[in-house]
Amino acid sequence: MSSTFDTVADIIAETADIPREDVTPESHAIDDLGIDSLAFLDIAFAIDKAFGIKLPLEQWTQEVNEGKAPAEEYFVLKNLVARIDELVAAKS
């Protein structure tokens, strides 16, 4: 898996106190790892800092709540990593 995934997995393991080996590309941050909304904001802060981006969490939440996107689109880690890579690419 990519270095982006490794960075994100390290952040999740440290921030949410989850064993690193439990964090896989297929993990759903909420359903599998039990990360709540407050902890996810901590993780978002660490990701924003690590990659120099701004995860559009409010937009994602709105899309999920309105049924415009499945939660898996943003909260399964391999998909989250893809979104991060897109944001990093858009920055440069």
Partner 1 sequence: MRLEYFQMIDAVTALDAQAKTIAASSVVPAQSPVFEGHFPGHPLVPGVLLTETMAQASGYLILALTGFTHMPFLMAVDKARFRDFVGPGAELEVKAALEHEGSGYAATKAKIVSDGKTICDAQLRFRTMPFPAGLDEQMRAQARRIGLTEAVR
Q: Distances from the Cα of 64 to the Cαs of 21, 27, 73, 89, in angstroms? A: 28, 18, 9, 24
Q: How far is CA 13 from the centre of its chain?
A: 12
Residues 36 to 55: which contact partner 1 by CB under 8 A? 38, 41-42, 44-45, 48-49, 54-55
Is 88 an interacting residue with respect to partner 1 (CB under 8 A)?
no
Using CB under 8 A as the criterion, what x/- string covers residues 5-34 for binding partner 1? ------------------------------
Among candidate residues 42, 22, 31, 78, the one with its CA nearest the CA of residue 57:
42
List interacting residues with partner 1 (CB under 8 A): 38, 41-42, 44-45, 48-49, 54-59, 61
